[in-house]
Amino acid sequence: MIVRIPSGIRGLDELMGGASIPENTVTMVYGPPKVGKSIFAYGFAAGGAEMDEPCLYISADYGLSDLKRNMAVLGMDPESYLQKELLYVIDAISSISGPSGDEGSTYFSSSVHNPTDIMVKLGVAIRNITNRYSMFRSVLDSLTTLMAFNDEMLIVRVLTAYIMRIKEAGGTAVVTYTEGSADPKVETMLKAVVDNIIHLDGSELTVEAMVGTGRVSAPYTIDDSGIKVVHEG
């Protein structure tokens, strides 16, 4: 029996007949720029936090302040999640764009220039989480930014290591990727190492591959509460 967890995305679980994300798998959310990939990731993280399930968020696109602001705009409560240790952040961008925050049990500063350090911080954060929780979520947002600062094949290897560590620790993850931003062969490799694939095109969400589920699609909108999948069922 496949154990599934709520996605945190309005309408998506109903589209797939119930809680939609298979536990202990990694889902790639991809599509063109500005179609809601990060918003999907915020919903996945917040959906867990609202059920007291922590999320380890590797943020390569936004520093901690921007990440909190973006989530708050969508009605989420990142400050509360951090205080309750339901949100752990590896901030890989602030160190090159400005001052980083003070490191603590839930915040780790790293750099998109240094995937090795990101993996080290990942290990520390996973230990902090699994000391308290048996289940957790993780987000890597985004692979595209990591590839912009590093060799693409290196990031394929980093993604493979990330998936292995998350799964060994019992986590369930979402990674985001901008369609067409890498060499086509590399993009094929990225899709080959994840378990599930969801495509966003700005108007339609398509589950292209999901453990135990067939291909399904439906229109979606983005409003003040995030992504909403619209379907008749």
Residue 9's Cβ-side half-sphere holds a number of Cα atoms within 13 Å equal to 29
Residue 171 has pLDDT above 90, yes or no: yes
Cβ-based neighbours of 207, under 8 Å, separated by 6 or more: 15, 16, 196, 197, 198, 213, 215, 216, 217
Q: Is the pLDDT of residue 99 over 80?
A: no
Q: Is residue 68 part of a domain?
A: yes
Is pLDDT of 79 > 90?
Answer: yes
Percent of the chain surpassing pLDDT 90: 89
198-206: average pLDDT: 98
Mean of the pLDDT values across residues 197-221? 95
Q: Does the pLDDT at position 2 exceed 80?
A: yes
For the whole prediction, is pTM greater than 0.75? yes
Asked, for residue 2, whether it belongs to a domain, the answer is: no
Does position 102 have pLDDT exceeding 90, yes or no?
A: no
CB atoms within 10 A of CB 205: 28
- pLDDT bin (cut points 50, 70, 90) of residue 103 is confident
Which pLDDT score, from 0 to 100, does residue 100 have?
61
Per-residue pLDDT tens digits for 129-152: 999 998 999 999 999 999 999 999
pLDDT for residue 101: 65
In a domain, 6, yes or no: no
* Distances 199 to 11, 25, 28, 82 between C-alpha atoms, Å: 15, 17, 8, 29
Predicted pLDDT at 82: 95
47-58 pLDDT, tens digit per residue, is 999 999 999 999
Q: Give me the domain span that covers residue 161.
A: 36-202+220-229
Interval 95-101 mean pLDDT = 70
In a domain, 8, yes or no: no
181 belongs to a structural domain: yes
Question: What's the mean per-residue pLDDT of the chain?
Answer: 94
**pLDDT given at position 17:** 85
- Note the pLDDT of residue 61: 94
Residue 120 falls inside a structural domain: yes
Structural domains counted in the chain: 1
| Rounded-to-integer distance, Cα 125 and Cα 90, Å | 8
CATH for 44:
3.40.50.300
* Per-residue pLDDT tens over the stretch 31-42: 999 999 999 999
Residue 93 lies inside a defined structural domain of this protein: yes
